Amino acid sequence: MDLNIHITLAESPALMKSLDCLCECLRDVINPAGVTVSETPKETATATPAKAPATAPAKPEAAKPAEDPDKLTEAEIMKIRKLVPAFLHKSPDNKLKLKTWLEENHVKACKVTNVTRPLLPAILNLLGGGGD
Protein backbone atom coordinates (compact mmCIF):
# COMPACT_ATOMS: atom_id res chain seq x y z
CA MET A 1 0.00 0.00 0.00
CA ASP A 2 1.44 3.36 -1.02
CA LEU A 3 0.40 6.48 0.78
CA ASN A 4 1.66 9.75 -0.67
CA ILE A 5 0.92 13.03 1.04
CA HIS A 6 2.20 16.32 -0.35
CA ILE A 7 1.33 19.52 1.47
CA THR A 8 2.75 22.92 0.57
CA LEU A 9 2.20 25.97 2.72
CA ALA A 10 4.71 28.66 1.83
CA GLU A 11 3.38 31.05 4.47
CA SER A 12 4.25 28.88 7.48
CA PRO A 13 7.62 27.09 7.57
CA ALA A 14 7.10 26.06 11.21
CA LEU A 15 3.85 24.34 10.26
CA MET A 16 5.61 22.59 7.38
CA LYS A 17 8.26 21.24 9.78
CA SER A 18 5.55 19.96 12.09
CA LEU A 19 3.69 18.33 9.22
CA ASP A 20 6.95 16.76 8.02
CA CYS A 21 7.45 15.24 11.48
CA LEU A 22 3.86 13.98 11.41
CA CYS A 23 4.41 12.38 8.00
CA GLU A 24 7.57 10.65 9.27
CA CYS A 25 5.58 9.24 12.19
CA LEU A 26 2.85 8.03 9.84
CA ARG A 27 5.41 6.34 7.59
CA ASP A 28 6.88 4.55 10.60
CA VAL A 29 3.45 3.39 11.77
CA ILE A 30 2.20 2.31 8.35
CA ASN A 31 5.37 0.51 7.28
CA PRO A 32 7.72 -0.17 10.20
CA ALA A 33 11.32 -0.97 9.30
CA GLY A 34 11.92 -4.59 8.48
CA VAL A 35 8.30 -5.42 7.65
CA THR A 36 7.82 -6.80 4.16
CA VAL A 37 4.70 -7.79 2.31
CA SER A 38 4.36 -11.54 2.01
CA GLU A 39 3.64 -13.16 -1.33
CA THR A 40 0.13 -14.31 -2.16
CA PRO A 41 -0.20 -18.09 -2.29
CA LYS A 42 0.06 -19.58 -5.78
CA GLU A 43 -3.06 -21.12 -7.27
CA THR A 44 -3.14 -24.86 -7.73
CA ALA A 45 -3.61 -26.32 -11.19
CA THR A 46 -7.21 -26.95 -12.21
CA ALA A 47 -8.61 -29.59 -14.55
CA THR A 48 -9.56 -27.04 -17.21
CA PRO A 49 -6.90 -24.37 -17.69
CA ALA A 50 -8.39 -20.90 -17.69
CA LYS A 51 -6.95 -17.82 -19.30
CA ALA A 52 -4.23 -16.51 -16.99
CA PRO A 53 -4.84 -12.91 -15.97
CA ALA A 54 -2.07 -10.45 -16.82
CA THR A 55 -0.08 -9.65 -13.76
CA ALA A 56 1.78 -6.45 -13.06
CA PRO A 57 5.54 -6.78 -13.06
CA ALA A 58 6.90 -7.35 -9.57
CA LYS A 59 8.71 -4.42 -8.01
CA PRO A 60 12.32 -5.19 -7.21
CA GLU A 61 12.96 -4.97 -3.51
CA ALA A 62 15.12 -2.07 -2.48
CA ALA A 63 18.53 -3.16 -1.31
CA LYS A 64 18.75 -2.51 2.41
CA PRO A 65 22.02 -1.22 3.79
CA ALA A 66 23.70 -3.63 6.18
CA GLU A 67 23.92 -1.31 9.18
CA ASP A 68 23.60 2.45 9.21
CA PRO A 69 26.91 3.86 10.50
CA ASP A 70 25.13 6.99 11.77
CA LYS A 71 22.71 5.00 13.93
CA LEU A 72 23.36 5.20 17.66
CA THR A 73 24.04 2.16 19.78
CA GLU A 74 21.55 1.06 22.41
CA ALA A 75 23.88 2.34 25.16
CA GLU A 76 24.00 5.82 23.59
CA ILE A 77 20.23 5.90 23.24
CA MET A 78 19.83 4.90 26.88
CA LYS A 79 22.21 7.69 27.92
CA ILE A 80 20.06 10.24 26.07
CA ARG A 81 16.87 8.77 27.57
CA LYS A 82 18.31 9.21 31.06
CA LEU A 83 19.35 12.82 30.44
CA VAL A 84 16.08 14.05 28.88
CA PRO A 85 13.81 13.89 31.98
CA ALA A 86 16.37 15.72 34.14
CA PHE A 87 16.78 18.37 31.43
CA LEU A 88 13.03 18.89 31.09
CA HIS A 89 12.55 19.28 34.86
CA LYS A 90 15.28 21.96 35.19
CA SER A 91 13.21 24.67 33.51
CA PRO A 92 9.73 24.98 31.98
CA ASP A 93 11.35 26.42 28.83
CA ASN A 94 13.53 23.36 28.23
CA LYS A 95 10.77 21.38 26.51
CA LEU A 96 10.48 24.09 23.87
CA LYS A 97 14.30 24.33 23.58
CA LEU A 98 14.56 20.58 22.97
CA LYS A 99 11.72 20.57 20.44
CA THR A 100 13.23 23.53 18.58
CA TRP A 101 16.65 21.84 18.51
CA LEU A 102 15.15 18.64 17.10
CA GLU A 103 13.30 20.56 14.38
CA GLU A 104 16.30 22.70 13.44
CA ASN A 105 18.50 19.63 13.11
CA HIS A 106 15.85 17.72 11.10
CA VAL A 107 15.73 14.77 13.47
CA LYS A 108 13.40 12.11 12.11
CA ALA A 109 9.94 12.27 13.71
CA CYS A 110 11.32 14.85 16.19
CA LYS A 111 12.32 12.07 18.61
CA VAL A 112 15.53 12.15 20.65
CA THR A 113 16.01 8.43 20.02
CA ASN A 114 16.32 9.18 16.27
CA VAL A 115 19.35 11.43 16.71
CA THR A 116 22.20 10.42 14.41
CA ARG A 117 25.85 9.97 15.34
CA PRO A 118 27.03 13.37 13.97
CA LEU A 119 24.45 15.12 16.21
CA LEU A 120 25.27 13.12 19.36
CA PRO A 121 27.82 15.56 20.87
CA ALA A 122 25.48 18.51 20.26
CA ILE A 123 22.46 16.91 21.95
CA LEU A 124 24.57 15.72 24.87
CA ASN A 125 25.81 19.30 25.35
CA LEU A 126 22.25 20.60 25.16
CA LEU A 127 21.05 18.06 27.71
CA GLY A 128 24.00 18.72 30.02
CA GLY A 129 25.57 15.28 29.59
CA GLY A 130 28.81 16.51 28.02
CA GLY A 131 29.94 15.78 24.48
CA ASP A 132 31.93 12.56 24.95
Q: State the Cα–Cα distance between residues 127 and 120, nearest whole angstrom.
A: 11
| Span 58-93, pLDDT tens digits | 555 555 555 778 889 999 999 999 999 999 999 999
Residues of the chain with pLDDT under 50: none
The amino acid that residue 80 corresponds to is I
Q: State the Cα–Cα distance between residues 80 and 21, nearest whole angstrom.
A: 20
Q: Name the pTM for this structure.
A: 0.49
Confidence at residue 61, expressed as pLDDT on a 0 to 100 scale: 55
- Do residues 17 and 103 touch, judged by C-beta distance below 8 A? yes
